């Protein structure tokens, strides 16, 4: 281990320190952060300086992976470096917080993502800490290093770690590069397969800023290029999809398309837009977006108003609870936010016009009955037009 308490219960970290750096600690006595038993500072030739137990540790969570322990120790090291006093494995009620720390009188619980924990356990734990007034921050673990723009599949638990109260960001520790990461600008064209940006912070970055007002990198050309490539690849394959099992929303839409002698692959091009934060819906974008266009907007006369709450209620009535992430904060709010984003996006194409914060006026109906080659042309048109909008909006 790289961290231990001294006899004054001061936490020392010797992460990445050399023999010279730790020289002044040689006379000190150390105890284990987990069990409180004696530890020795070892400064051999072969291994980097580290603390070792004299007898076996009875409390160190051996079930945790090497990466997990490293991540935890890195976090403590970072906090100690900036003058804070982290406590590891702090008992809070029936739970043990990976790292507890107080920053400006705010009690933080820092939890590192555990692979064996279920979504239910995750939420229980999260709510438990929140209920007792702790600010909970979850950290994922990145092992293979990180590029600025990533496209990857997220587990439901990872998707749950995206914090809407922190601007839809999630945190991670890159144990290879020893950096902290904030992932942001999440979008997806397929449930749970996310495209996002990562901003890296060295351990020299202040925890205060990191948790509170970290400056994140802006999307660059590569981010938009990755989205466009994925968008094009998916829209092409969705135009040829064979649907073997249908969910409720698909059944509703199929009825509409069949009345026009079409199938689900004939969704309008503007019903397949990448919207930030659609991570919350476990439904493909072309389904929920088509529903809004065909079953809400097209059903109202031109000039009529729609407001976000109405659309949200209409959509909620056709999706089941398992189409939405099981989130603690009201998912109505998140759906509201998502729909508002979408209505703004299609106002760019002149379908609706924003009247006030949450109200839009219908300015034209969207043609649904189009042959496939026209739709494929539309896809290309929408993609290049929307890219400009998306870049401006998210930059």
Measured in whole angstroms, how far is the alpha carbon of residue 32 from the centre of its chain?
Answer: 34
Judge whether 352 and 362 are in contact, CB under 8 Å: yes
Asked if 32 touches Zn ion (CB under 5 A), the answer is: yes
Contacts of 364 (CB under 8 A, 6+ apart): 302, 350, 351
Which residue lies nearer to Zn ion by CB, 61 or 164?
A: 61
CB of 3 to Zn ion, least distance (A): 12
Distances (CA, A) of 69 to 22, 65, 265: 22, 6, 48
Asked if 35 touches Zn ion (CB under 5 A), the answer is: yes
Cβ-in-10-Å burial (0-12, 13-18, 19+) of 115 comes to exposed
Query: Which residues does residue 96 pair with via DSSP β-bridges, in sequence order?
Result: 91
Which residue lies nearer to Zn ion by CB, 48 or 57?
A: 57
Stretch that binds Zn ion, among 51-59, 90-98, 249-257, 344-352 (CB under 5 A): 51-59
Among 25, 34, 119, 128, binds Zn ion (CB under 5 A): 34
Stretch that binds Zn ion, among 25-33, 236-244, 267-275, 381-389 (CB under 5 A): 25-33
Which residue lies nearer to Zn ion by CB, 4 or 234?
A: 4
Element (H, E) at 281: none
CB of 13 to Zn ion, least distance (A): 16
CB of 77 to Zn ion, least distance (A): 18
Query: Which residues does residue 196 pair with via DSSP β-bridges, in sequence order?
Result: 150
Stretch that binds Zn ion, among 57-65, 82-90, 264-272, 294-302 (CB under 5 A): 57-65
CB of 90 to Zn ion, least distance (A): 15
CB of 75 to Zn ion, least distance (A): 18
CB of 86 to Zn ion, least distance (A): 17
Stretch that binds Zn ion, among 27-35, 235-243, 319-327, 329-337 (CB under 5 A): 27-35
Stretch that binds Zn ion, among 53-61, 83-91, 144-152, 183-191 (CB under 5 A): 53-61
Contacts of 214 (CB under 8 A, 6+ apart): 182, 199, 201, 205
CB of 51 to Zn ion, least distance (A): 10
Return the structure tokens found at 338. 């998502």
Which residue lies nearer to Zn ion by CB, 30 or 386?
A: 30
HSE toward the beta carbon, residue 359, CA cutoff 13 A: 6
Contacts of 255 (CB under 8 A, 6+ apart): none
Which residue lies nearer to Zn ion by CB, 58 or 329?
A: 58
CB of 11 to Zn ion, least distance (A): 14
Stretch that binds Zn ion, among 35-43, 79-87, 192-200, 376-384 (CB under 5 A): 35-43
Asked if 84 touches Zn ion (CB under 5 A), the answer is: no
The single-letter DSSP state of residue 294 is I
CB of 17 to Zn ion, least distance (A): 21
Which residue lies nearer to Zn ion by CB, 55 or 395?
A: 55
Q: Is the dihedral of CA 7, 11, 12, 15 positive or negative?
A: positive
Say what angle helices 308-318 and 331-347 make with each other, to 10 degrees. 120
Which residue lies nearer to Zn ion by CB, 5 or 223?
A: 5
Instruction: Give the DSSP letter string of 345-374.
Output: HHHTTTSEEEEETTEEEE--PPP----HHH
Query: Which residues does residue 300 pair with via DSSP β-bridges, in sequence order?
Result: none
CB of 237 to Zn ion, least distance (A): 53
Which residue lies nearer to Zn ion by CB, 32 or 279?
A: 32
Asked if 57 touches Zn ion (CB under 5 A), the answer is: yes
Return the structure tokens found at 145. 């290093």
Interior CA angle at 113 toward 152 and 169, to 5°? 55
Total binding residues for Zn ion by CB under 5 A? 4
Judge whether 203 and 126 are in contact, CB under 8 Å: no
Stretch that binds Zn ion, among 29-37, 73-81, 238-246, 366-374 (CB under 5 A): 29-37
Measured in whole angstroms, how far is the alpha carbon of residue 148 from the centre of its chain?
Answer: 15
Residues of this chain that bind Zn ion (CB under 5 A)? 32, 34-35, 57
């Amino acid at each position: 281990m790289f961290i231990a308490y001294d006899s004054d219960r001061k936490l020392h970290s010797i992460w990445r320190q050399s023999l010279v750096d730790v020289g002044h600690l040689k006379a000190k006595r150390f105890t284990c952060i987990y069990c409180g038993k004696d530890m020795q500072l070892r400064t051999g030739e072969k291994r980097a300086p580290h603390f070792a137990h004299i007898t076996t540790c009875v409390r160190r969570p051996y079930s945790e992976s090497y990466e997990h322990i490293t991540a935890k120790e890195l976090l403590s090291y970072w906090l100690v470096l900036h003058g804070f006093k982290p406590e590891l494995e702090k008992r809070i009620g029936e739970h043990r917080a990976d790292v507890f720390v107080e920053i400006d009188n705010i009690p933080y619980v820092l939890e590192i993502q555990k692979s064996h924990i279920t979504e239910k356990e995750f939420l229980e734990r999260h709510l438990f800490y929140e209920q007792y007034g702790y600010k909970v921050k979850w950290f994922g673990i990145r092992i293979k290093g990180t590029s600025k723009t990533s496209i990857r599949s997220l587990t439901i638990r990872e998707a749950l770690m995206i914090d809407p109260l922190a601007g839809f960001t999630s945190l991670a520790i890159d144990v290879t590069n020893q950096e902290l990461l904030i992932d942001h600008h999440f979008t997806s064209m397929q449930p749970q397969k996310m495209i996002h940006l990562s901003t890296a912070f060295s351990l020299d970055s202040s925890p205060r800023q990191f948790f509170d007002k970290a400056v994140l990198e802006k999307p660059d050309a590569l981010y938009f290029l990755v989205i466009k490539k994925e968008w094009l690849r998916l829209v092409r394959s969705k135009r040829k999809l064979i649907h073997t099992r249908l969910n409720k929303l698909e059944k509703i839409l199929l009825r509409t398309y069949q009345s026009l002698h079409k199938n689900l692959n004939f969704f309008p091009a503007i019903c397949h837009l990448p919207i930030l934060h659609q991570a919350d819906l476990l439904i493909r974008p072309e389904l929920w977006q088509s529903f809004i266009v065909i079953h809400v907007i097209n059903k109202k006369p031109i000039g009529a108003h729609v407001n976000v709450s109405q659309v949200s209620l209409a959509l909620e009535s056709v999706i089941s609870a398992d189409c939405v992430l099981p989130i603690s904060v009201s998912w109505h709010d998140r759906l509201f936010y998502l729909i508002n984003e979408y209505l703004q996006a299609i106002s760019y194409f002149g379908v609706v016009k924003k009247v006030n914060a949450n109200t839009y006026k219908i300015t034209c109906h969207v043609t649904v009955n189009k042959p496939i080659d026209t739709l494929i042309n539309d896809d290309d048109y929408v993609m290049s037009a929307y890219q400009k909008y998306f870049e401006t909006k998210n930059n």
